[in-house]
Amino acid sequence: MSVLELRALSKSFGGVHAVRDVSFAIGKGEFLAMIGPNGAGKSTCFNMINGQLKPDSGEILCDGRNIAGLAPRDIWRLGVGRTFQVAATFGSMTVIENVQMALISHGREIYRLWRPAASHHRARALELLAHVGMEAAADRPSRELAYGDVKRVELAIALANDPKLLLMDEPTAGMGTSERHGLIELVKRLVVERGISVLFTEHSMDVVFAFADRIIVLARGQLIADGDAATIRDNPQVREVYFGTGKTFAGASA
Amino acid sequence: MTLNAFLFQVLNGLSSASGLFLIAAGLSLIFGVTRIVNLAHGSLYMLGTYIAYTFATKIGGVTGFWGGIVATALIVGALGAAIEFVLLRRIYRAPELFQLLATFALVLVINDFALWLWGPTDLLGPRAPGFRGAVEILGRRLPSYDLFLIVIGPLVLLALHLTLTRTRFGRLIRAATQDREMVGALGVNQAVLFTSVFALGAALAGLGGALQIAREPANLATDLIALGDAFVVVVVGGMGSIPGAYLAAVIIAEVKALCVGIGTVDFGFVTINFSKFTLVAEFLVMAIVLIARPYGLLGKAQGAVRSIAEPEEPLRPATPLLKAFGVAVLAVLVCLPLLAQSSPYVLVLGIDVLIAVIFATSLHFIMGPGGMHSFGHAAYFGLGAYGAALLVKWLAWPMGAALVAAPVLAVAGALLFGWFAVRLSGVYLAMLTLAFAQIVWAAVFQWEGFTGGSNGVIGVWPPPPFDKSWVYFLLTLALAVAAVLLLRRFLFAPFGYAMRAGRDSPLRAEAIGIDVKRVHWLGFAIAGLVCGVAGGLFAFAKGSISPETIHINRSIDGLVMVLLGGVQTLTGPIAGASVFALLQDTVMRQTEYWRALMGAIILLLVLTFPQGIVGAFASLWRRMGGRT
Amino acid sequence: MSNAMLSVESLSAWYGAARILYDLSFEVGRGEVVALMGRNGAGKSTTMKAIMGLIAQRQGKVVFNDADISKLEPYQIARRGLGFTPEDRRIFSDLTVLENLDIGRQPPRQFPDGAPAPLWTPERLFALFPNLAEMQDRPGGRMSGGEQQMLTVARTLMGNPLLVLLDEPSEGVAPLIVEQMANTIVELKKEGLSILLSEQNIHFAQLVSDRVYVLEKGQIQWHGTMAQLSASPDIQRAYLTV
């Protein structure tokens, strides 16, 4: 049973096909990596799923319902969470307030004008921070955090509405190797525990090969390969458009 | 209207469009490269008219007129370069709002300078040598000078377009518009580039103003009118797009010309004088364009403008010390009527200060936590004040009912204007709110039969017992305390957090289900509501209200109050408003040229604390050993 | 020290009240490719920006081509032949490829010994980056990340630099592009250019660099040749955590 299914999704900008006829599905609890050259249409695909872009044609089925063209906030309410390539938190708030904000929104309490926000969902927010190992920093201003920690807080925010699908755009961009693995291990553990599916894009092949259950490859807006790590690694077309000889990353056997 | 009359008005509109285009193009160019919205751009335009008038009348003849126009453009261009060199260069790293304040200070200084040099009366220039006659077109006589103006606009457009696309200078301008720091890192001397762009923009404004002397008199009110028009044109055309500016100038000028052309129409049941609706028509065009294309006709969605986000501390509840201080201040204020029995003026001043506090706190509500830099908060003040005054005048409502109605009217205006404003951000929002406030002001000013025009509304006195100043003072105090505490409460509640979330990171906020536009819209409405209370109180405190009291100056006063106190603290606007209102009362009544004095004070403030007052303290701390 | 093209002595930098760099000293010789390595947030980009004069609050001495440039404006530094390609590329998205190149254009230049620095023209750059040749009139904003990465390097080369600061050339681009970038750096080194590179990807750094400085929390923790770093897994684990 798939959590999300793309059917013949297409989008063009000024006559240029950014995404052409892309179809794939994500199963429940699956850790799916989307890779491909820069400009292959990964971000466009992502932004259509999360609602920032409206597809020209095709369907995006979430639990059988077509969500193509809905606003990002409505898609979030259907249980599709996301993290950003450049991690974003609310800089003027503390770490826990960031998470509380998401919980307040989840509880549809945004328009409350009286009881202080700080008294809303504090226990639940602490619990979420504990899951990502950030409970000790709960009352620190979020803008003071190191980048890796911001990514963790973002994850806690994304988990606030018990998503069934998490979209992660280059989750490890701008991180060192050990931080990379630490973060992805954490994500993997959380999603396995909760049965969340994850769709992520990534340029760090060590991460992709080590963690993804399945890999799909986009090139020039089209899906050119879909399979497990071994299949993708040995696919000559993927090698040609994306990997090259593989000498700039570990894990791709020559 | 016949077809011929219609086409004739179209030609008329085209000739007005050229002037609009010249000033808007300069504004757009300067903003693109320096990221400064030059509020003094209308003033440069006005100076152009005055200087060209002087040449045309003192020297006279062909040389005086045509040579004068060219010389005016050069002089105003040089003045622009000087402004950039002496003033703006020092504040490029300052927060956006400080830059706007600095250029507004120039508006005040230049206006008083023109008053001092040329006097208060309108000055009409001579007719243009060589274009004194008229051409018969479509059975009507069109001044040949208008035909000349029709040609000038497209010519300048073509020249600018070629400069921007075919020359290295133009490419540098376009590159710097996107990333001036990177242009510098590639070996381009930005300082020279900035000065020359500012000079070019100023020269265009000066030229635009100079060309008007054969059509319209030089007038001291031109500066803000031209600025408002230029804002509308730039917003409609799309920031940074020169062809867009021309297109928008044509559309706006045509709509205005047609309104005038239609004149008074009798619909049988009602008679409407369309020529009174030129400003409303301008607003409607802008509204329609912004609904369809939020970045203007030919504008593009701007990437995030590189700006130094100012770190803001998380909100913390009031400390016991602050609470105690607040209670102490309140106690003193409640006792003020007793303490001030010998000098009743203290209470009058006290009422002014409290009204300023409500005004500034409501502005801060959207400016600080909402991140919406409204340059037109006077609109809601005006709607409240005029609403209350007109209800008393026409319907003889009692004060209580009028004071309740004031915020209701203000909130209606805030909901209407805010709906558009929250679709923009940054300087676009500032421009739009300013344009809205100008429209409210113009409506009040032009609708003489209803609002009393420039005379305003008089005789709005509070009934007993509120006619005693100590009673009215206590009423104002009660409302001010309620407003301040209520807004504070909202900011600590989920709504206030959602507003800040939308400001800190709109994308992230949307991604956790927050409808940012809606939240900010409601925030805008709440601020308008509270501001309306201030307006209503003001009308009854003064017993009258005139267009002057709701002019753009009041909007800017609000900004100065908020910045003076510090935009990042909740108590800041209270302190800022109090200091400002007292300062204004004592200092500003000393001289006829108080505008210039006011401008000088703002400039001093901006130049002394270019990083803002908070930033100044931070760097002071570092110099004192924070580095070691 | 006269052999050094770039020599940095006790460089420190601050963002607001936060100190980012602590008394860094290092040098880059003529024709040498030197890598600054370290984790994210270690101070690599800040070092480059501080050398380039893009950080207002900085202290220390930066000598480039025998002249002290530590008090100069960025444009003055660029005009002395120090090129900078930022990690976020900063392509002028409204300008075409050719126009982007034109912004970077500077007059021909010589090394102190009178030898001419490599002279770059759009034609030569298109030979180096064939992808760019196919899209000369395309606006920068409509290029992919990898193409932008090449354009940002090409744009810097238009200034005929003696030394290039190359900030994270492999970040966020596909492996194939990373490989092309490595080949380009090797080409540039052959032309006689000096390069200071910031990098997290050790596989990439190994392909191109002669020497390495490892940064951690704004301080240099280790330096040596690339061969030494490759041979010491301990250091890699301690600072780069491969």
Q: What residues of chain C lie within 8 A of the CB of A179, using their CB?
A: 39-40
* Option in A84, A94, A120 nearest B494 (CB): A120
Tell me if A254 is assigned to some domain: no
Q: What residues of chain B lie within 8 A of the CB of C56, using their CB?
A: 93
Residue A48, pLDDT above cutoff 60: yes
- Which residue segment(s) compose the domain that A229 sits in? 2-89+145-243
- Tell me how close the Cα of B317 comes to any Cα of chain A, in angstroms: 10
Q: In the complex, which subunits touch A with 3 or more CB pairs below 8 angstroms?
A: B, C
Among residues A108, A128, A144, the one where a domain terminates is A144
Residues C147-152: what's their mean pLDDT?
93
Which of A39, A44, A46, A34 lies closest to A232 in space, CA to CA?
A: A34
Q: What residues of chain B lie within 8 A of the CB of C19, using their CB?
A: 627
Mutant choice from C40, C45, C204, C206 vs A, greatest count of A C-beta within 10 A: C40
Tell me if A156 is assigned to some domain: yes
Contact between chains at A38 and C146 (C-beta distance less than 8 A)? yes
* Option in A71, A73, A101 nearest B497 (CB): A101
Is the domain of A166 the same as that of A56?
yes
Tokens 């679709």, residue located: B423
pLDDT number for residue B307: 40
Tell me if A253 is assigned to some domain: no
Instruction: Please tell me the total count of domains within chain A.
Output: 2
| Averaged confidence pLDDT in chain B | 88
Question: For B30-156, where are the E strands, in sequence order?
Answer: 134-137, 140-143
Q: What residues of chain B lie within 8 A of the CB of A128, using their CB?
A: none
Residue A175, pLDDT above cutoff 80: no
Could you tell me which residue, B548 or B204, shows the higher pLDDT?
B204
pLDDT number for residue B596: 87
What confidence tens digit (pLDDT) does each residue in C13-34 have?
988 777 889 999 999 999 999 9
Which of A190, A150, A191 lies closest to A171 in space, CA to CA?
A: A150
Q: What residues of chain C lie within 8 A of the CB of B168, using their CB?
A: 102
Contact between chains at C104 and B177 (C-beta distance less than 8 A)? no
CA B55 to chain centre: 31
Q: Is the CB of C109 inside 8 Å of chain B's CB atoms?
A: no
Q: Is the CB of A73 inside 8 Å of chain B's CB atoms?
A: yes
Could you state, in order of their start, the residue ranges of all structural domains in chain B?
A: 41-220, 225-300, 348-587
Is the domain of A169 the same as that of A195?
yes
CATH code for position A41: 3.40.50.300
Confidence of residue A245 (pLDDT cuts 50, 70, 90): confident
The residue of chain C nearest to residue A174, with distances taken between CA atoms, is C40
pLDDT number for residue A176: 67
Q: What residues of chain A lie within 8 A of the CB of B490, using their CB?
A: 113
pLDDT number for residue A254: 33
* Option in B171, B190, B621 nearest C103 (CB): B171
- Which residue segment(s) compose the domain that C42 sits in? 4-240
Q: What residues of chain A lie within 8 A of the CB of C143, using their CB?
A: 39
CATH code for position C204: 3.40.50.300
The Cα B274–Cα B260 span in angstroms is: 6
pLDDT number for residue B474: 96
Is the domain of A163 the same as that of A205?
yes
H or E element: which one contains B23?
helix B3-34
Tell me if A74 is assigned to some domain: yes
Residue A22, pLDDT above cutoff 70: yes
Is the domain of A45 the same as that of A154?
yes
- Among A20-34, B226-240, B445-459, B587-601, which stretch is predicted with the lowest mean pLDDT? B587-601
pLDDT number for residue C160: 96
Residue B622, pLDDT above cutoff 60: no
Contact between chains at B504 and A92 (C-beta distance less than 8 A)? yes
pLDDT number for residue B8: 86
Q: How far is CA A63 from CA A4, A27, A57, A169, B109, in A?
A: 6, 11, 19, 22, 65
- Among A170-184, A230-244, B303-317, B437-451, which stretch is predicted with the lowest mean pLDDT? B303-317
The Cα C73–Cα B118 span in angstroms is: 43
Tell me if A250 is assigned to some domain: no
H or E element: which one contains B107?
helix B96-118
Packing angle of the helix pair B345-367, B469-492 (nearest 10 deg): 20
Tell me if A252 is assigned to some domain: no
Give the gyration radius of chain B's Cα atoms: 25
Q: Is the CB of A110 inside 8 Å of chain B's CB atoms?
A: yes
Tell me if A251 is assigned to some domain: no
What does the angle CA C47 – CA C51 – CA C53 come to, to the nearest 5 degrees?
115
Q: In this predicted complex, what is the ipTM?
A: 0.93
Tell me if A132 is assigned to some domain: yes
Confidence of residue B343 (pLDDT cuts 50, 70, 90): confident
The residue of chain A nearest to residue C208, with distances taken between CA atoms, is A248
Contact between chains at B187 and C75 (C-beta distance less than 8 A)? yes
What percent helix, strand, coil does chain C show, rounded to 5? 35, 30, 35
pLDDT number for residue B304: 44
Q: Is the CB of A114 inside 8 Å of chain B's CB atoms?
A: yes
Is the domain of A32 the same as that of A133?
no
Q: Is the CB of C175 inside 8 Å of chain A's CB atoms?
A: yes
The Cα C158–Cα C150 span in angstroms is: 13
Strands A165-169 and A80-83: what pairing? parallel
- Tell me how close the Cα of A204 comes to any Cα of chain C, in angstroms: 8
Instruction: Please tell me the total count of domains within chain C.
Output: 1
- Among B75-84, B208-217, B586-595, C176-185, which stretch is predicted with the lowest mean pLDDT? B586-595
Q: Is the CB of C106 inside 8 Å of chain B's CB atoms?
A: yes
Q: Is the CB of A174 inside 8 Å of chain B's CB atoms?
A: no
pLDDT number for residue B500: 95
Contact between chains at A38 and C176 (C-beta distance less than 8 A)? no
Taking phi first (over 0 means left), then psi (-120 to 50 degrees means alpha), and beta for anything else, what does residue A47 get?
alpha
What confidence tens digit (pLDDT) does each residue in A84-117 have?
887 788 989 999 999 999 999 999 999 999 999 9
Which of B365, B348, B350, B322 lies closest to B477 in space, CA to CA?
A: B350
- Tell me how close the Cα of B524 comes to any Cα of chain A, in angstroms: 14
Task: Show Cβ contacts of residue C26 under 8 Å, excluding neighbours closer than 6 positions.
Answer: C7, C8, C34, C213, C220, C223
- Tell me how close the Cα of A63 comes to any Cα of chain C, in angstroms: 32
Output the furthest CA–CA distance in chain C (Å, rounded): 49
Q: Is the CB of A119 inside 8 Å of chain B's CB atoms?
A: no
